[in-house]
Chain A
Amino acid sequence: MIRTLALGTALGALTAGAAMAQDMDVKLGVLNDRSGVYADLSGEGSVVAARMAIEDFGAADKGMNVEIISADHQNKPDVGSNIARQWYDEEGVNAILDVPTSSVALAVADITAQKNGVMINSGAGSTELTQGQCRPTTIHWTYDTAALANGTGGAMTKAGGEKWFFLTADYAFGHSLEENTTTVVQENGGEVVGQVDVPFPAMDFSSFLLQAQGSGADVIGLANAGGDTVNAIKQASEFGITQAGQKLAALLFFVTDVHALGAETAQGLSLTEAFYWDFDDTTREWSARFEEIHGAKPTMVQAGVYSGTMAYLQAVEAVGSAEDGEAIAAQMKTMEIDDPLFGAVTVRGDGRAIHDMHLFEVKSPDQSTGEWDLYTHISTIGGEEAFLPMLDECDFTK
């Protein structure tokens, strides 16, 4: 960070004499989980991604002085709120990035609106961010539970998985994921034959898996995340559930989770992501740079922080100052973004970034050629189809 800073300052000083340059200070705060369950999928990797965005944007050459700070919100709304307030009031932060964990994200969205900053959310899943609790200064970049449900739920039901049984993590996120997916399953002619609320966090899923097995469902929907999902998949394979023909749908699963499970156990699993490192030459090249710094391939959340930061900086450049968050968010909603990682992206009036989502299947160990060679691309779901329609009262461009 110090190097980037020094570079920025030096270049800023050099160009200060030129007529076109106006020195502009921008301060970004990456607020995420740096020690808990989401630390691998967001954490320091998101900071790395944001730094890469500043570099690739050429902020220094454009006379923009961009600084990054980061903090750990520990997945607690009160901790996250305090940091966000302090950042806006005392540190002069202009925008907050990433913010996984929906409860924290919703709290930070409110504070951001009050302080006229911008929140570019990549890590959180709740659709509430752009629906019930939409704010003019919230941009929801990477994914949401509806897009995951549409991707995995829709595809698996169409492929013949008509009867579903849910193992639901017993808290707000799990229930919302189950609800979204149930809607999609029913719309596609499927039915839900049962569900069980699993206390969170859970280590042993065998009882619940046996209940799912006994239900005669075609698909067992895992409406949970992180270590819970890993445990459930590991044990489903152990109890011969996947071998017997029942399919598992991991409704929120990241490439780091698949990596943790290993292709042997995770093979055949369907999942939806907005980004995969091995998509084309551009994503491969970018991910290789990322891996060199961070030591692991990027998740879609980290890639989303990169793209979101890039778009934000473009908007700041167009507006000419980072001070008025609402103006920058409004500017982002007018841009046609051709993103190197997400393809064509537009930001809707409610702050929802619309881009393609992709359905993947985990490769078997024979198909996989390396540690991170994990997915086969099955299909692409267009942005309009993947995300929920915009609520009228949330259209802030009107």
Chain B
Amino acid sequence: MFDLLGISPQVLMGQLLLGLINGSFYAVLSLGLAVIFGLLNIINFAHGALYMMGAFVAWMLLSYLGVGYWWALILSPLIVGVFGIVLERTMLSRLYKLDHLYGLLLTFGLALIIQGLFRNYYGISGLPYQIPEALSGGQNLGFMFLPNYRAWVVAASAVVCFGTWFMIEKTRLGAYLRAATENPVLVGAFGINVPLMIMLTYGFGVALAGFAGVLAAPIYSVNPNMGADLIIVVFAVVVIGGMGSIMGAILTGYVLGLVEGLTRVFYPEGSAVVIFVIMAIVLLIKPEGLFGKAA
């Protein structure tokens, strides 16, 4: 166990921790996708672009209005969420009765347009965004130096993921939502405004992407392509977890972050494909995903 393949336990611990941090991003993003798919039946390909928007809105708030990180953490998801609601009302709502493919194509097109607009105005090199003062620096854990900001990312994402799961699975509101996806007509007949609920759900799922974007801004390059690079991996995470499964998306996000972290130690060249290899295996053995219900 110790000095496994020439890797000391310290290095291993460090890499596992880093994997957990990346897993936090995967978890928040795939959670948003799972919520939207589970409750709206829309494969939201614009998720990556909205994550990018979250980071850009944080930057804009800081540079144009002088609004700092902490407010951005609340305001940016709100702004992105409202933007999502506009998209849902004006375009997506017309597609619910059609095949998944139409929603996928529409959101994919939207993603390209959003990215193109940002690229046109802000260029491709990216924009600077600093780590907030209160979270700069880090702790020496003995086996690695853990930046405070990364610790915060793990904590914030865990709270958000758990909160979302709790709201959808354990509260009355969540029960309405789940019922509305099963049988919207019946739930509507009980006097519940189903279209409003669906609209807010999309806004919420999209706001999660915006939230992840703000979390990412201080540590990753803030550029128009940042979401496009990430979204494919996140989709793989959702597929592995099982489309539409809330808990599946969260757990798979964290676990795959860990797996990717380990691959970086043992075979770095493979770290970009390991998730897709797992996806292929899962699809072969359990096509509905690890946590999905058989169709």
Contact = CB atoms under 8 A, between A and B. Distances in A.
Interface string B167-180: 00000000000000
Contact of B268 (A37, A198, A256, A257): A198
A199 B124 contact: no
Contacts of B272: 199-200, 202
Contacts of A41: 125
A207 B123 contact: no
B114 to A, nearest CB: 14
A235 B219 contact: yes
A234 B219 CA distance: 6
Given A239-B145, A240-B145, A257-B125, A203 B264 contact: no
A203 B217 CA distance: 12
Interface string B195-233: 000000000000000000000001111010110011000
Contacts of A397: none
Given A199-B268, A206-B18, A227-B225, A264 B220 contact: no
B132 interface: no
A227 B223 contact: yes
Given A196-B268, A198-B268, A207-B265, A238 B126 contact: no
B91 interface: no
Contacts of B273: 199
B15 A210 contact: yes
User: Most chain-A CB neighbours within 10 Å: which of B22, B219, B272?
Assistant: B219
A238 B147 contact: yes
Interface of B: 11, 14-15, 18-19, 21-22, 116, 119, 123-128, 130-131, 137-138, 144-145, 147, 149-150, 218-221, 223, 225-226, 229-230, 261, 264-265, 268-273
Contacts of A227: 126, 221, 223, 225-226
A207 B223 contact: no
A214 B10 CA distance: 10
Contacts of A235: 219
Contacts of B226: 203, 227
13 contacts: A37-B124, A196-B268, A198-B268, A204-B18, A204-B22, A207-B265, A227-B226, A234-B219, A234-B221, A260-B128, A260-B223, A262-B128, A262-B130
Contacts of B15: 207, 210
A259 B239 CA distance: 38
Nearest to B146: A239
A210 B18 contact: yes
Interface of A: 35-41, 170, 196-204, 206-208, 210-211, 214, 226-227, 230-231, 234-235, 238-240, 256-257, 259-262, 264-265, 296
Given A196-B268, A210-B144, A234-B221, A264 B130 contact: yes
B130 A265 contact: yes
Q: Which 3 A-B pairs have the closest CB atoms?
A: A262-B128, A199-B272, A207-B264
B147 A260 contact: no
A259 B229 contact: no
Contact of B11 (A199, A210, A230, A256): A210
A260 B127 contact: yes
A259 B125 contact: yes
A198 B18 CA distance: 16
A172 to B, nearest CB: 14
User: Most chain-A CB neighbours within 10 Å: which of B123, B130, B150, B261?
Assistant: B123
Contact of A170 (B11, B221, B269): B269
A149 B263 CA distance: 30
A208 B19 CA distance: 12
Contacts of B230: 203
